[in-house]
Amino acid sequence: MPERVALQVLVATGNPGKRAEMERLLRAHLPDVVVLGLPDVEAYDEPVEDAPDFAGNALLKARAGLAATGLPTVADDSGLCVDALNGMPGVLSARWSGQPKSDERNNRLLLEQLADVPDERRGAHFTCAVAFVHPTAGEHVVEGHMAGRVGREVRGGGGFGYDVLFEADDAPGRTTAELTREQKDAISHRGHALREIAPYVAEVLARSEG
């Protein structure tokens, strides 16, 4: 009897924190799937993220992963949208302070930009678009959101990006960098999006296996 070929899906990100979070959430729904990251496949040219919205950028990355590896690919694009900055940094979140990308520099710049903004006007939300692209099943995109506010100082050692500044409405008084992985997964924008798309990914992979 031929050896069963493992179901595989590529998570197209080079951010180790993001990849770990996405893998953790996908495995909750797809325990038997083999989740590969960019370090596990032959290097390819990643696309320029020049779409005007999160969904467009997620699709760019997922399409590139499928084209380069032939593997069903999950990719996301996410960012922080600050009310007092008219929704910025938005899709520019990762490179808000310029290149090379730096979480520390981005957070410092954001604090400077909001220095004179009172607490009642520091509302913000995270948005995450997750795209799944399959060789025969096509493309599927979902979005998740996490509402909250931007604090006044860096706190916490977990997470990545703006987590050290963001206080979610569902976990007041703590930044998302001060939450446990499980607590953050339960309320995060990426957690909401992945929990929505994971059953679809499972269905498509199971169907393709059969």
180 assigned to some structural domain? yes
Q: Is 3 helix (H, G, I), strand (E, B) or coil?
A: coil
3 assigned to some structural domain? no
Side-by-side strand order, sheet with 8-11: 34-37, 8-11, 73-82, 123-134, 138-150, 166-168
1 assigned to some structural domain? no
Ranges 6-10, 144-148, 191-195: which has the least confidence:
6-10
* Cβ contacts of 67 within 8 Å, gap of 6 or more: none
pTM as predicted: 0.90
Domain that holds residue 184: 8-209
Q: What is the pLDDT of residue 189?
A: 96
2 assigned to some structural domain? no
CATH number of the domain at 116, please.
Answer: 3.90.950.10
pLDDT in tens, 36-86: 889 999 999 999 999 999 999 999 999 999 999 999 999 999 999 999 999
118 assigned to some structural domain? yes
Active site residue 50: no
Instruction: For residue 14, say whether it is annotated as part of any ligand binding site.
Output: yes
Question: Which residue in the list 40, 45, 76, 77 is annotated as catalytic?
Answer: 77
Comparing CA positions, the residue from 78, 84, 90 lying closest to residue 112 is 84
Tally of structural domains, the chain: 1
59 assigned to some structural domain? yes
Q: What is the Cα–Cα distance from 133 to 150, expressed in whole angstroms?
A: 33
Q: What is the Cα–Cα distance from 153 to 41, expressed in whole angstroms?
A: 38
Instruction: For residue 123, say whether it is annotated as part of any ligand binding site.
Output: no
Instruction: For residue 155, say whether it is annotated as part of any ligand binding site.
Output: no
Number of residues written out for the chain: 210
pLDDT in tens, 168-178: 999 999 999 99
48 assigned to some structural domain? yes
